Chain A
Amino acid sequence: MAETAVEKKEGVFTFGKKERKLLTDPLNDNNPITVQVLGICSALAVTTLLVPSIVITVAVIFVCAFSNLFTSLLRKSIPKQVRMIVQLVIIATLVTVVELTLKAVNYDIYKQLSIFIGLIITNCIVMGRLEAFAMANSPWKSFLDGVGNGVGYGVILIIVAFFRELFGKGSLLAGSPLEMKIIGATPEYWINTAADGSWFSWYSNNNLMVLPAAAMFLIAILIWVHRAWNPKLVDIS
């Protein structure tokens, strides 16, 4: 009985168990990539390097959270017949805002990502959350759901990019001030495969890793690992 009393006092910005679940659910039980298998297209395309993956992650979190927020704010006045178009306009606007800002703040990364930023518009995760969640929930909850899903998507992106960059290029965070050269055939690398008597002289970068196919394999392995670790998911399908 005491619990219902507490719930009634909840304001607009309360952060309780339910809200925490909105943030953590997409990280594990309801991950957009490994469980819902959404947003795969961009996960294959941008994950060759860590830096662009991180930038895309931030952009998707932003777009997802705010498009959820705006859609939820408008949910009672959006005419049902045109709701998809309205959602799309909201997403496209936010993506354009991200693109224009990035172009002003860091032109090099903007150049590197070029079309991928624009392609966030077509990311099914964003649209999926608007339809499935924001149209039926309060703005604050929708915002949290957007952040949660953006992070859930980004975590997978970054894990995939980590392996692809390490084994495909032998570096980590290339293109940023924190660039680490791990393994390669020049003395700049920590493990120099060309050095005399190197234990790694047999090693060379795997070209498959930089192709989208490698991301497909990596995501499949991640889904496998995720399911083995979280038996709840196995019962669903």
Chain B
Amino acid sequence: MANITFITQDNIPVTVHGESGSVMELAVENNVAGIDGDCGGVCSCATCHVHVAKEQFSLVGQASEIEKDMLELDDDADEYSRLCCQIDITPELDGLVLTVAGQ
């Protein structure tokens, strides 16, 4: 459905293919370093923080209110931050580049 590239904290790009579920689940399935998804994807832990490439932000859209609040737990959050458990994989995301937030 979509190829998504994660740039890990070591600056290594990892491109993986997802068919369904959330982007967090895709990252965990592929052992992408830095995406923990500790709460299992219910927007409770903020351990799946990614920065979306600026020019692609419209593909994923704005975070919900609760997600924006949760992102404030992380000092590294900016206007292009998302918790990727809240991003569902769709064909439109093909080619998306996400930078895993620093620890």
Q: Do A and B bind each other?
A: no
